[in-house]
Each structure stands twice: as structure tokens, then as C-alpha cells.
Amino acid sequence: MINHRAIQEKWEWAHYMLYLYISVAKADANAPIVSEEEKLILDKFDLKTNYRYKLPQKYLQEVLEEISAHNENEIAEFISNYCTNLSSMGMDKSSLLNDLEEIIAADGTINAKELHRLRMIQRSLK
């Protein structure tokens, strides 16, 4: 279940960005994030936030806890409801989509579920 209140009160744009990164990394049957994906996600997080956050792992853990509580429909709802926040916060859409494509490929495989999730995000960002 999506904890809308906690998200609206506590989350910053960096949380939403991580949610998208993690959602594509975990799209393949809710498999755990492999080390290559996690490293790439944290590297991209640091670059996008200009190393502003001292504990990126803390943010990653908060988002992992939230997304792990969501089923496929809730993930789609979350993306639909909250992805637009990134655009309004000045995040470059093409850069974000490039990051997502890299994250999908980080584990050496690209499957239909990951591509479906990417297309869902693309539609939400427009």
C-alpha cells in the first residue's frame, strides 16, 4: 500500500528519482537489485544531486522499503501520480530516461517487464 501521507510530507525530489531507478531495476519479477545495478543507481544519484547528500544509502533504503510494499498496480499508480514531480522540479527528462536505460542494462539482461516499466515512465514524464 502506498503511504501517500509519508511520501508527501517527507520525500524530496531525490526520493522520486530513486523510486524510478529502483522500479526499473526491480521490474524483472521483483528480483533483488544486483550489485552492478545498485552501484550504478548510487553513482547516478550522486551525480544528479551534485554529491549533496552525505548518506545516499539511507535514501536508497527508504525508497526500497516503500517500493517493496507496492504491488505492480501500486507501482504504476505511484509512477503516474508522482513522476510529474520530477519534471516540475527541473529534472531533465532525457537525462533521466538515459539513466533508466543504463540501469536496465546494468545486470547484463534486458527483459520485457523492464522495457514495459520504462515505457510507463516515459508516458508519465510527458
Note the pTM of the prediction, 2 decimals. 0.86
- The model's pLDDT over 99-115, given as tens digits with 9 standing for 90+, comes to 999 999 988 888 899 99
For 28, the 3-state DSSP assignment is: coil
pLDDT of 36: 85
Nearest to 53 by CA among 40, 42, 64: 42
Positive or negative, the CA dihedral 57, 53, 104, 13 is positive
Nearest to 71 by CA among 101, 104, 29: 29
Residues of the chain with pLDDT under 70: 29-31, 85, 87, 126
Q: Do 83 and 121 form a contact (C-beta atoms < 8 A)?
A: yes
pLDDT of 30: 56
pLDDT of 117: 92
How far apart CA 116 and CA 30 sit, in angstroms, is: 14
- Give the chain's domain count: 1
The domain of 41 spans 4-125
Domain with residue 109: its CATH number is 1.10.3680
